[in-house]
Amino acid sequence: MITNSAIYQLIEKDDFYHCSQSLYSALDWSRIGAEILLRSKLGETDLIFSQAKLVNKLYELETKSIFKVLQTYHSEENTLKDLLFINIFPSTILHHEFPTFIKKMSTDFPAKRQNIVFEIVNTDYVEDISSLKGRINLLKELGYLIAIDDVGKGWSTLDLIIELEPHYIKLDRFFSRNLSNSKQKQQMIKSLINYAHNSDIKVVLVGIEQETDLSIAKYLGVDICQGFLLDKPKPISQSV
């Protein structure tokens, strides 16, 4: 159980850190970037975000997290070279202060915006897709890239793909689990890849833990792979 006071303190004192997990091109197995993962001594990240949402502090937590990541990767010691996937909730993007925040970030950390991929967490229902699309277009205009996370798991994912026109879609780990033995999963992935490639979208498969599943992912035409088999999350200081 994470208390309200613990969440307030975490945000006030920036009492969190980040890990990164590398992503690899299925074409030649070169590292193309990393996903940034928030971590804290309070416990599971999903619970932290859930509690922050309950006390109306999710926006503050996410924007502080984004600032901390950009500050780290734009320091002299940690020049951003690859793609950086940063998770973000739709409610944060839709917050009335978000345009001001992201424009300030773009001014404070102007280098290589095209390397920053905002990865939209789609576990929450979004009623106003039109407004979300407007904010996504703002991010694109500023030079950022867009990904949709957990495709196949969250609410109305196909609607988001069509409406938001992301640069990347990340298939939920459900698809990578026992992929080599599931013709149904293979067929679904092939269908998604067919649509994505026709729309100039790259497909990422996450949660890969078995060699056989990795081989099938490459065979099916997945563009980018991520999972414990390839790399385990580690603190940013060890991975930049």
Determine the structural domain holding residue 102 and report its residue range. Answer: 19-35+82-238
- Per-residue pLDDT, 113: 86
Please indicate, yes or no, if residue 88 is contained in any of the structural domains. yes
Query: Pick the residue with more confidence: 109 or 155?
Result: 109
Residue 239 — pLDDT band, cuts 50, 70, 90?
very low
Across the range 172-195, mean pLDDT stands at 96
Total number of domains constituting the chain: 1
What span, in angstroms and rounded, lies between the C-alpha atoms of 221 and 179? Answer: 13
Across the range 146-167, mean pLDDT stands at 85
- Per-residue pLDDT, 51: 93
- pLDDT at residue 79 above 70? no
Please indicate, yes or no, if residue 90 is contained in any of the structural domains. yes
- pLDDT at residue 123 above 90? no
Please indicate, yes or no, if residue 56 is contained in any of the structural domains. no
Please indicate, yes or no, if residue 67 is contained in any of the structural domains. no
Please indicate, yes or no, if residue 11 is contained in any of the structural domains. no
- Per-residue pLDDT, 236: 86
Across the range 175-197, mean pLDDT stands at 96
Mean per-residue pLDDT of the chain: 91
Across the range 195-214, mean pLDDT stands at 97
Please indicate, yes or no, if residue 1 is contained in any of the structural domains. no
Strands 224-225 and 17-25: antiparallel
We report the CATH number of the domain holding residue 118 as 3.20.20.450
Across the range 102-110, mean pLDDT stands at 92
- Per-residue pLDDT, 1: 77
- pLDDT at residue 67 above 60? yes
Please indicate, yes or no, if residue 5 is contained in any of the structural domains. no
Please indicate, yes or no, if residue 74 is contained in any of the structural domains. no
Is the whole-model pTM more than 0.75? Answer: yes
